[in-house]
Amino acid sequence: MLSVPCRMGIEETPRSARPAIGARQRILETAYELFSRNGLRAVGIERIIDESAVAKKTLYRHFPSKVDLILAFLEMRGQRWTRDWLLAEIQQLAATPRGQLLAVFDAFDEWFHRADYESCALINSLLEVREKADPVHQQASRQLELVRKILQELAQQAGLGDPEQVSRQIHILMMGSIVAATRGDLDAGRRAREVAEMLLESAH
């Protein structure tokens, strides 16, 4: 059974039943949940303060601005989604590098069919903040590039010709399938896997 990629790290137990954590972590966990579900612009600082049960002064001591909080969220998202979920999942699903490149879409297939599928916060952040010089855009782009580099490493280990090109092609399929699933094509992972298989066959 797959982990929950979009809500990785979000507790489902009532807030009153959760173990005590430091103020900074509580703020960040609350922001993680709200930003993942609702996007960046729809969530205001006041709501984060209210739901994390901290004083405004406490929040700004740890995160001087909303941008600082968003950057911390995106870094956490990259770690939890990329390393803690996706990479761990494909290593469990397939034993070889080539198999792991395809297993990305097996993992996506189950993710897309979950009732709580929430799309990808990294892609959504790029679409919300389109100015390339903006630090939020740059951080989201950086986290997505880390995913591509993992794909390139797998392509190299698989002995495929032009691993960088293969990684970019697989990465495009990943992002495209996420968008397709977001608009309602829940079988997008399976369709993308079929295309990925053809790409890998031609890459030898």
Tally of CA atoms within 13 A in the half-sphere of 193 that contains its CB: 17
- Does some domain include residue 106? yes
Residue 187 lies inside a defined structural domain of this protein? yes
35 assigned to some structural domain: no
In a domain, 9, yes or no: no
Q: Which domain holds residue 102?
A: 67-202
Quote the pTM value. 0.85
Domains of the chain: total: 1
Cα–Cα distances (Å) from 78 to 14, 81, 88, 142, 184, in that order, read: 26, 5, 13, 9, 24
- 11 part of a folded domain: no
Task: Find the CATH number of the domain harbouring 138.
Answer: 1.10.357.10
How far apart are alpha carbons 46 and 37 in whole angstroms? 17
In a domain? residue 21: no
Q: For each of the chain's 204 residues, which pLDDT tens digit applies?
A: 334 454 443 333 344 444 457 999 999 999 999 999 999 999 999 999 999 999 999 999 999 999 999 999 999 999 999 999 999 999 999 999 999 999 999 999 999 999 989 899 999 999 999 999 999 999 999 999 999 999 999 999 999 989 999 999 999 999 999 999 999 999 999 999 999 999 999 987
User: Would 38 be classed as within a structural domain?
Assistant: no
In-domain check, residue 17: no
